[in-house]
């Protein structure tokens, strides 16, 4: 039971990811109208459109005529993730996260977390360049280029409509993450993740760190898939994790045994949080 | 300071070069994958090039098709029409298509797939007649093509399966009677497709009795030719309208036609004086 409470975010995230896939599956196979479509575009309760913002951008670049539904869908997504979620899409919605988390788990279990074939320092900003390049390529080839290779699309479509040979691509991502580059796909390549980083740059819900409680054990830095967002803050200052690449997955909160990390609301709750943390309940 | 700047510039150049390299691989794959000219699209689809730009691959059309009202069950198995292409399928990844032999379009009156589309990749504009009336009968998913060598009606056998399966019977497929000279007393009953009425639903292809269908649906872009402005049906007012703006120039202009033919032929020849 203690384990369940301790890992509540992880469990909730998995439930959320699987529930979303299940709703897509049910929409096709049983005709449910709760969440119809897939992560490129869906209709919630048969009325509210939800559009993949990066697919939308690619379509704009490819020169498609954009329908009103798509624009509304993008606005809904921008509001949800821009205000509340940050990169929560990546850790709470995207099913590829389950694959890459599995790869990260394999890395931890086999004690080769830092064995990378590629220097993580060097490809820090690669995903943003890649996202921009694919937009240009969409314009050149006249089609949304990333949508042809997107493992997110292949995974969600695969669940709802049949996967074909798509599993190979998902397996490649697992191998890449587990043996080539730690957190390689989600943390260094995925242009959709890069897009959500930018969308959620100013989002409200963020992890808050209390320096007074921190024992500098490094648990959070080990578990974090984007630990460049933690390192400027952990054991240095009491502050929000402001790095735009934080996915709000909450793993750092779970592995912290010193109550030094928690979800909080940026801009609205400021120093007040720090005051409360001085008397930890544990 | 200078060193810092240098390494910053280096990393920027490296990242963008890597992005361009990876992007080019993606571009190559996209070019290859989107070029699947035999893909049959749902009713109301834009022209293939525009369709690929506009389709967001959400699958709402496929879901509308799967959960439609007029479900067709043959031998206890529900016939599924639209599919969303998975990697390895014979259609660009993630886009809707159908295979008429196993799952033709049953031409629902309400066209649920077309109206489900949120992006306009499937649009009523592509499914209407000259007067602007929208109906599934005006869909242009493809066109049926008959292979006379394997169609048993051309052998003189009695069939007409495609004719009877056709939802546009006597408009899209008619039966032409010809004398069978071999027996001298029988008739060939030959199916003839009329492209202007054919929606490309593929019911004929599913109904065809031969081992491999002798009547098949092809995308209209692939199969239909174009007579161009040079030829006109002199007896048809409407066809004359078509060539109203045709060019009056009847000579083909190439690099060679700048000179006269004689000049061209005699070019470079040294004449005995």
pLDDT at B141 over 50: yes
- Name the domain boundary from A149, A178, A198: A198
Contact A164 B88 (CB under 8 A): yes
- Name the domain boundary from A159, A180, A198: A198
Mean pLDDT of all residues in A55-69: 91
CA distances to A8, A92, A203, B261 from A209, rounded to whole Å, are 19, 21, 17, 87
If asked whether residues A190 and A261 sit together in one domain, one would say no
Which pLDDT score is estimated for A272? Answer: 47
Chain A, chain B: beta-carbon pairs less than 8 Å apart = 170
pLDDT at A280 over 60: no
Residue A276 pLDDT level (bands cut at 50, 70, 90): very low
If asked whether residues A121 and A250 sit together in one domain, one would say no
If asked whether residues A214 and A274 sit together in one domain, one would say yes
DSSP state of B31: H
pLDDT at B36 over 70: yes
The predicted-structure confidence for B20-31, as pLDDT tens digits, reads as follows 999 999 999 999
If asked whether residues A141 and A238 sit together in one domain, one would say no
Q: How high is the ipTM of this complex?
A: 0.85
Residue % of chain B over a pLDDT of 70: 99
- Name the domain boundary from A145, A172, A198: A198
Which pLDDT score is estimated for A83? Answer: 85
B33 touches chain A (CB under 8 A): yes
- Which of A38, A122, A136 is opposite residue B14, by nearest beta carbon? A122
Q: From chain B, pick out residues whose CB is under 8 angstroms from the CB of A36.
A: 60, 63
CA angle A64–A67–A70, rounded 5-degree value? 100
Which pLDDT score is estimated for B45? Answer: 93
DSSP secondary structure, B58-111, as one string: --HHHHHHHT-SS--EETTEEPP--EEPPTTSSSSTT-EE--TTTS-----TT-
Mean pLDDT of all residues in B155-183: 93
If asked whether residues A59 and A97 sit together in one domain, one would say yes
Mean pLDDT of all residues in A116-141: 86
- Which of B31, B118, B120 should be substituted to probe chain A, the one whose Cβ sees the most A Cβ atoms within 10 Å? B118
Query: Is residue B89 left, alpha or beta, with left meaning phi > 0 and alpha meaning psi from -120 to 50?
Result: beta
Q: Which range has the worst mean pLDDT, A60-69, A113-122, A131-140, B41-50? A: A113-122
If asked whether residues A60 and A170 sit together in one domain, one would say yes
If asked whether residues A29 and A156 sit together in one domain, one would say yes
Which pLDDT score is estimated for A176? Answer: 92
Q: From chain A, pick out residues whose CB is under 8 angstroms from the CB of B16.
A: 129, 133
Contact B37, B222 (CB under 8 A): yes
Q: What CATH number has the domain bearing residue A263? A: 3.30.70.20
Which pLDDT score is estimated for B273? Answer: 67
- The mean pLDDT value of chain B amounts to 89
If asked whether residues A189 and A246 sit together in one domain, one would say no
Residue A281 pLDDT level (bands cut at 50, 70, 90): very low
CA angle B199–B106–B140, rounded 5-degree value? 20
Contact B84 A125 (CB under 8 A): no
Contact B62, A26 (CB under 8 A): no
Which pLDDT score is estimated for A273? Answer: 46
Residue A227 pLDDT level (bands cut at 50, 70, 90): confident
If asked whether residues A190 and A243 sit together in one domain, one would say no
Residue A270 pLDDT level (bands cut at 50, 70, 90): low
If asked whether residues A184 and A217 sit together in one domain, one would say no
Residue % of chain A over a pLDDT of 70: 95
Distance CA B202, CA B140 (A): 11
Q: Which domain holds residue A248?
A: 205-278
Number of structural domains in chain A: 2
Residue A279 pLDDT level (bands cut at 50, 70, 90): very low
A164 touches chain B (CB under 8 A): yes
User: What three-state secondary structure class fits B217?
Assistant: strand
Mean pLDDT of all residues in A203-219: 89
pLDDT at A282 over 60: no
Which pLDDT score is estimated for A277? Answer: 45
B14 touches chain A (CB under 8 A): yes
If asked whether residues A9 and A33 sit together in one domain, one would say yes
The predicted-structure confidence for B80-94, as pLDDT tens digits, reads as follows 899 999 888 889 999
- What pTM value is reported for the model? 0.86
B30 touches chain A (CB under 8 A): yes
If asked whether residues A46 and A150 sit together in one domain, one would say yes
The predicted-structure confidence for A138-149, as pLDDT tens digits, reads as follows 999 999 999 999
B156 touches chain A (CB under 8 A): no
Distance CA B145, CA B215 (A): 5
The predicted-structure confidence for B150-165, as pLDDT tens digits, reads as follows 999 999 999 999 999 9
Max mean pLDDT range (A141-145, A240-244, B148-152, B243-247): B148-152
pLDDT at B209 over 90: yes
Q: Nearest chain A residue to B22 by CA: give it.
A: A130
């Amino acid at each position: 039971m203690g384990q369940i409470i301790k890992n509540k975010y992880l469990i909730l995230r998995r439930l959320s990811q699987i529930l979303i896939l299940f709703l897509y599956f049910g929409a096709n196979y049983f005709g449910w109208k709760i969440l119809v479509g897939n992560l490129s575009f869906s209709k919630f309760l048969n009325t509210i459109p939800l559009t993949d913002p990066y697919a939308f951008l690619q379509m704009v670049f490819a020169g498609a005529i954009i329908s009103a539904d798509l624009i509304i869908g993008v606005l809904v997504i921008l509001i949800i993730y821009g205000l509340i979620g940050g990169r929560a899409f990546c850790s709470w919605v995207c099913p590829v996260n389950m694959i890459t988390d599995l790869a990260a788990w394999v890395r931890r279990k086999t004690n080769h977390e830092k064995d990378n074939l590629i220097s993580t320092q060097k490809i820090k900003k690669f995903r943003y360049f890649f996202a921009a390049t694919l937009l240009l390529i969409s314009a050149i080839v006249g089609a949304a280029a990333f949508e042809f290779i997107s493992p997110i699309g292949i995974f969600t479509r695969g669940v709802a409509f049949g996967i074909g040979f798509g599993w190979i691509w998902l397996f490649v991502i697992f191998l890449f993450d587990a043996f080539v580059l730690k957190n390689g796909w989600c943390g260094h390549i995925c242009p959709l993740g890069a897009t959500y980083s930018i969308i959620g740059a100013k989002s409200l819900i963020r992890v808050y760190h209390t320096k007074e409680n921190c024992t500098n054990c490094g648990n959070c830095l080990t578990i974090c898939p984007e630990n460049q967002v933690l390192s400027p803050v952990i054991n240095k200052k009491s502050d929000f994790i402001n790095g735009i690449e934080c996915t709000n997955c909450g793993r750092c909160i779970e592995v912290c045994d010193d109550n030094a990390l928690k979800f909080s609301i940026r801009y609205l709750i400021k120093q007040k949080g720090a005051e409360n943390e001085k008397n930890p309940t544990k | 300071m200078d060193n810092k700047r240098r390494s910053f510039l280096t990393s920027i150049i490296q990242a963008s070069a890597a992005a361009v390299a990876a992007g080019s691989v993606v571009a190559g794959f996209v070019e290859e994958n989107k070029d699947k000219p035999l893909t049959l699209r749902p009713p109301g689809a834009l022209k293939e090039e525009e369709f690929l730009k506009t389709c967001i691959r959400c699958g709402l059309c496929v879901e509308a098709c799967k959960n439609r009202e007029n479900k067709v069950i043959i031998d206890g198995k529900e016939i599924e029409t639209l599919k969303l292409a998975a990697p390895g399928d014979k259609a660009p990844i993630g886009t809707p298509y159908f295979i008429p032999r196993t799952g033709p379009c049953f031409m629902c009156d309400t066209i649920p797939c077309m109206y489900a589309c949120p992006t306009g990749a499937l649009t009523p504009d592509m499914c209407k007649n000259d007067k602007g009336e929208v109906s599934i009968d005006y869909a242009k998913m493809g066109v049926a093509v008959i292979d006379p060598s394997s169609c048993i009606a051309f052998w003189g056998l009695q069939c007409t399966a495609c004719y009877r399966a056709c939802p546009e019977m006597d408009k899209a497929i008619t039966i032409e009677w010809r004398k069978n000279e071999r027996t001298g007393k029988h008739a060939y009953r030959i199916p003839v497709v009329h492209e202007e009425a054919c929606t490309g639903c593929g019911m004929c292809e599913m109904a065809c009795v031969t081992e491999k269908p002798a009547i098949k649906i092809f995308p209209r872009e692939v199969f239909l030719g174009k007579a161009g402005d040079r030829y006109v049906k002199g007896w048809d007012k409407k066809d004359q309208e078509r060539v109203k703006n045709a060019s009056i120039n009847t000579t083909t202009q190439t690099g060679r036609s700048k000179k006269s033919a004689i000049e061209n032929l005699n070019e470079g020849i040294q004449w005995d004086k």
